[in-house]
Amino acid sequence: MKPRVRVISTGGTIAAKTKSVTRTTGYQDIGLSADDLLQSVPGAEEYAAITTENIYSIPSSAMTGAHLLTLAKRINALLQGGEADGVVVTHGTDTLEETAFFLHLTVKSEKPVVVVGSMLPATVLSADGPLNLYNAILAASAAESRGKGVLVCMCGRLLSARDAAKTSTFRLDAFKAPEYGALGHVAGKSVRYYYAPTRPHTAQTEFNIKGIETLPRVEILYMYEDCDEHLLKAAVENGCGGIVCAGLGCGAIPPRVREYYRQLEVKPPMVRGSRVGSGYVARHGITPDDVYNTIPAGDFTVQKARLLFQLALTVTTDLEELCAIFQQY
């Protein structure tokens, strides 16, 4: 019996149409449904019994916490209810890595979930969406994909959602895992893995979103030369529940910012990340965490640190426990 794969469309470039086959930018019409996308991948039905649904039809820049929660709950219902053996989510690339990571932390199943997009609209020359989708369906139907967490499938690579990052604004080969590389690849009809995630994911995590309707509000503040406290002050005064700093180098926070934060009587917890985009932010760097009561982000990019932070805050507000979560994941 073929594995049952559900393709869920959320919109994005992969579902976009253009008026010209050479117009690769500036398009706005996200008019293709999941059924339309499936028509572009003849042969995929050899490997899976494929069904489709459309949950959103939006650019990924419009994704919100509410969208993430609805999508994760829908996938949990499909997989836990026995309606599907795997799920493919088609998604815009602007925030694809964020949605994939959120699902990586909240989907409660070992069944494959693969997030896929495209860098070119569906109707232009050499559109990459059909092959990406074909590869994603193969990956979602492969027994080898079980227990790997949520995967990102782009340009033949199978990336862990934890580590996947968009590294170019326009190149087809935009998605990579800068620090750790791909888990595997899809080549022809073959799905191959060479590595597996070692950090907790999916069914292994402590994050249960079943009863959650709204995620804690966490802001990202970008640090820069001559940065002062005004952005931090605005975030605090507007009632944010947590702050992620895109710090300098290894997570350094400029003096005026950290001193303002240190002097706050009531302060939201703060995670120190880096604006660099790769590498590791260690504890007790140039901004001592014990002095300023901050949490080092480890190897998470700031956008992924924000999502982990939001979910962590649904479990605890204790500083040491929050630090432990960042170390664990």
pLDDT in tens, the chain (329 residues): 999 999 999 999 999 988 888 887 777 777 899 999 999 999 999 999 999 999 999 999 999 999 999 999 999 999 999 999 999 999 999 999 999 999 999 999 999 999 999 999 999 999 999 999 999 999 999 999 999 999 999 999 999 999 999 999 999 999 999 999 999 999 999 999 999 999 999 999 999 999 999 999 999 999 999 999 999 999 999 999 999 999 999 999 999 999 999 999 999 999 999 999 999 999 877 788 988 999 999 999 999 999 999 999 999 999 999 999 999 99
- Which two tokens mark 184? 């595997």
Residue 13 bears catalytic tag: yes
pLDDT of residue 223: 98
Tens of pLDDT, residues 312-323: 999 999 999 999
- Domains (range + CATH), the chain: 4-204 (3.40.50.1170), 218-328 (3.40.50.40)
Helix intervals (H) in 87-141: 96-106, 129-141
Helix intervals (H) in 142-287: 230-237, 255-263
Identify which of 203, 200, 151, 201 has the alpha carbon closest to the alpha carbon of residue 177: 151
151 touches 114 (CB < 8 A): yes
Helix intervals (H) in 48-180: 65-80, 96-106, 129-141
pLDDT of residue 28: 72
From the candidates 10, 13, 93, 301, which is the catalytic residue?
A: 13
pLDDT of residue 215: 98
242 touches 214 (CB < 8 A): no
Q: Could you write out the DSSP letters of every residue in 211-241?
A: T-SSPPPEEEEE--TT--SHHHHHHHHTT-S
pLDDT of residue 20: 85
pLDDT of residue 30: 79
- Beta pairing class for 218-222 and 190-193: unpaired
